Amino acid sequence: MTCFSCLFGWRVASSTKRTVEMDEEVSGIQNVNFYTYKELRIATEEFSPANKIGEGGFGSVYKGRLKNGTIAAIKVLSAESRQGVREFLTELNVISDIEHENLVKLYGCCAEENHRILVYGYVENNSIAQTLLGLSQGYLAPEYAVRGQVTRNADIYSFGVLLLEIVSGRGNTNMGLPVKEQYLLQMVHSSYLSQT
């Protein structure tokens, strides 16, 4: 019985310590609401498949109605991400300070137990690629397209392609152009080689 009470006491102390650490981390984040898992479960009608609006390597996205009536995109991060609370909150702190007319607004998050959920403003038209380029098919990094891997390199590569698309004002592929200009990355690389 003594062993059980010691083990139970250790679990309570460990849980309390994590809660205190979490509270300290959370207190540093200014522009973000914190939602409970229960609130987000209710908002999405128990994460109903009927409310699922997207899925990617990092998790599933659901359309939901928050308590105040706001429609939101609720992104449930994959359990395989292995991102701890501290890393999640640090990333959240950085995201929460960014505001731009062309970026979706971050409303808040849930970091309860092993749940990592981001709550964004809801935007019609399904995806940024479809909104910006009117394409029925958005973009996949080579690592994800070939092997199904989601890596930091894939994120950097995708971000680079996005920047090239913004600067050039065109999508990464356009079969209506002459052969040498159809693929944006190939065209930029050729231009770079001719400059060096």
Residue 148, sorted as left (phi over 0), alpha (psi -120 to 50) or beta, turns out to be left
**Alpha carbons 168 and 97: distance in angstroms, whole number:** 27
Burial 170-196 (b: 16+ CB within 10 A, else e): ebbeeeeeeeeeebbeebbeeeeeeee
Please tell me whether 75 is known to bind a ligand: yes
If we measure between CA atoms, which residue out of 42, 53, 74 comes closest to residue 130?
53
- The CA angle 173-177-182, to the nearest 5 degrees, is 35
β-sheet bridge partners, residue 60: 55, 76
Distance of alpha carbon 54 from alpha carbon 133, whole angstroms: 18
Q: Which helix (H) or strand (E) holds 3?
A: helix 2-27
Question: Given the DSSP bridges, would you call strands 106-110 and 33-34 parallel, antiparallel or unpaired?
Answer: parallel
Residue list, annotated binding site for ATP: 75
Annotated binding-site positions: 75
